[in-house]
Structure 1
C-alpha cells in the first residue's frame, strides 16, 4: 500500500482530501488549467516550505551564523535578509533543475520534442515548485509595496508566477526551464546584497561577485531570456498554435515576457551603477587619490 493510500484510509484526512479536490477542480475550470489538480499540492507545499525557510532564517540560522551583524539590523532589514536567503536557496534549485532537464533530452523527450505543448509529469512538478516559490514571492513583495518599496519586485513575482502556472496547462514547458536559468544570476545577486550588510561593501569579494553577477545576468536574462521570448513570439504567430492556446493566454504570456524583459534591462542598468558605486573607491589607483601638486 502506497503512502498516499495509507493517508486516504484515514477518515479525517480523507474528508479534507475531498475538499482539496473540489477546490483544485474549481480552480482548474476557472483558470482553464486541466492539469492543475495534478500539481496544485506541489505548488502549495513549495510556498509553505519557502515560509519555513524564511522563519528558520529569522529564528535560528542567521542569528547564529552572523550574530555580530544580523542582530543589529532593523526589523524591516531582517525581513529583507530572510527573504533574500529564501531567494538564494531557490536560485540554486532552479539553476540545477533547469540544467538537468535541458541536458537530459531522452528522459524528458516529451517537452524536448514538443516545446510548446509537450507534457512530462515530473518536469511539470519541477516547474510547480518554482511556481510555489513565486507565489511566496508575491506575498512578501506585497509587504515591500506596502512599505513603499519593491513595486518592480512585485511585478516580477506576479509575472513569473502566472507564467510558470500556465506551463502546466501544458504550454511552453520547455521554455519554462530556459527561463529558470535566469535564476543563475540570483546566485550572485543575493551575496552582493549580503556583503553590504556584513561590512564588506567595496571589498574584493564583492567586486569579484559583482563581475560574476553582471556576466551571468547579461547572458542568462538579456541574451538567453530574450531569445526564448522571441521563440515564443514566433510560435505565437502560427494560427494553429494561437487557436489551440487561446488568444487570451497567448497575449498574456507575450505581455508578461515584454514586462519581464523591460524589468531585466532596467535592473541591469541599476546593477552596473550600484557595482560602480561600491567598488570604485577600492580599485582606484593610489596615484589618483593624491591631491594634484600646485604649480
Structure 2
C-alpha cells in the first residue's frame, strides 16, 4: 500500500536483534515501518534527556538568573532548553524532508527510510516529553500528559505508514518555537518589556501566523480533502482521529495567536504581562 521514495536513511541502520524483538508488537499495532526506526527514536529520546540533565550546568554558565529560579521555574527552563535544541534540529532538516516527501507518489501511504528517520527524531522528543510530564505531573498538570500522549500517537502512527507526506507541515511549526523560547528566557532574565523582547514578539507573531495559521490551515484543508477522498482505503476510526486532531491543533493555534497579540499589545503599553505565559507558554516545549 505504500510507495517508497528512498531506501537510504539519515542514520545507520540499528541492530537487527532490536528490530526483530519489536516487530511482532509493531505489526499487531499496524506500525509496519516502525521497527526500522526504533533505534533512532530511543537514541533521540536519550539525547534529549541528556540535554535536560546538562541544562542546569550549562544555564549556570551563561545566566546568573538560573540559580535564583524556583524549582518549578528551573524545570520549565530546562524543558525550554531541550525544546530549543529540538526545534533547531528539526528546522535544519526542513528542506531535506520537504524534498523527500515530494518524491512520494502516494500522499496517504507514501514512505521512505529517510523520512522515517527524521520523524523518529520528533517521535523521540515526544517520548521524552511524555516521560517528563508524567514524572513531574504535579508541575506540568494532567492536561499536558494528554497532550504528550496525543502528539506521540500522531507521529508514531505515521509508521503504518500513514500521512508521512504531510509531516513537513507540522515540522514547520517549529519555526515559531525559538521565538517562543526566547520570550520565555527574556522574561526569566528580567528583560520583560525590553525593546529586544518587543522585537522578538513581533517576529514571533509574524512567524506564528505564517507557519501555524496560514500554512497550517491550508495544509489541514488539503489533508482533510485527501482523507475524505480516499476514506474507503483506510480504517474509519483512524481517519476520524486524524481529522479531529488536525482541527483541534489548528483551532488551538488560532486561540494562541490572538492571546499573544493581546499580551504583546498590553506590554507595549507598559503593562507587566508575559505574552508567553498568557498564551500558555508551555506550548513552546510541547509543539506538534
Q: TM-score, normalised by structure 1?
A: 0.81
Pick aligned residue for 1:95 from 91, 95, 100: 91
Provide the alpha-carbon RMSD of the alignment.
2.3
What's the counterpart of residue 182 of structure 1? Answer: 173
- SS of structure 1 residue aligned to 2:193: coil
Give the Cα separation in 1 of the matches to 2:137 and 2:191. 28
- Offset of 1:139 from its aligned partner? 2.4
Pick aligned residue for 1:272 from 261, 270, 276: 261
Structure with greater helix percent: 1
Asked if the contact 1:33/1:169 (under 8 Å) is kept, the reply is yes
CA distance 1:270–1:201, shift in 2 (3 Å): same
Q: TM-score, normalised by structure 2?
A: 0.82
Q: Deviations over 1:206-248 (max 9, x none)?
A: 001000111111111111111111111101112xx32332112
What's the counterpart of residue 287 of structure 1? Answer: none
Pick aligned residue for 1:131 from 123, 129, 152: 123
Gaps of 5+ in 2: 1-11, 272-288
Pick aligned residue for 1:243 from 232, 240, 256: 232
What's the counterpart of residue 63 of structure 1? Answer: 60
Asked if the contact 1:98/1:180 (under 8 Å) is kept, the reply is yes
Give the Cα separation in 2 of the matches to 1:135 and 1:34. 19
Pick aligned residue for 2:44 from 39, 46, 51: 46
Give the Cα separation in 2 of the matches to 1:21 and 1:75. 39
- SS of structure 2 residue aligned to 1:281: coil
Q: How does 1:156-235 map to 2 (within 5 A)?
A: 156-235=147-226
Give the Cα separation in 2 of the matches to 1:115 and 1:137. 29
CA distance 1:125–1:148, shift in 2 (3 Å): closer
Which one scores higher on RCO, CA 8 angstroms, separation ≥ 6?
Answer: 2
Give the Cα separation in 2 of the matches to 1:42 and 1:272. 38
What's the counterpart of residue 275 of structure 2? Answer: none
Asked if the contact 1:34/1:169 (under 8 Å) is kept, the reply is yes
- Offset of 1:23 from its aligned partner? 4.5
Asked if the contact 2:65/2:188 (under 8 Å) is kept, the reply is yes
Give the Cα separation in 2 of the matches to 1:271 and 1:95. 22
Q: How does 1:21-32 map to 2 (within 5 A)?
A: 21=19, 23-32=21-30
Q: Does residue 36 of the first structure (1) align with residue 16 of the second (2)? A: no
Which protein has the larger Cα radius of gyration, Structure 1 or Structure 2? 1
- SS of structure 2 residue aligned to 1:137: helix
What's the counterpart of residue 279 of structure 2? Answer: none
Asked if the contact 2:72/2:139 (under 8 Å) is kept, the reply is no
CA distance 1:150–1:186, shift in 2 (3 Å): farther
Give the Cα separation in 1 of the matches to 2:86 and 2:72. 21
Gaps of 5+ in 1: 9-16, 283-295
Aligned residues: 260
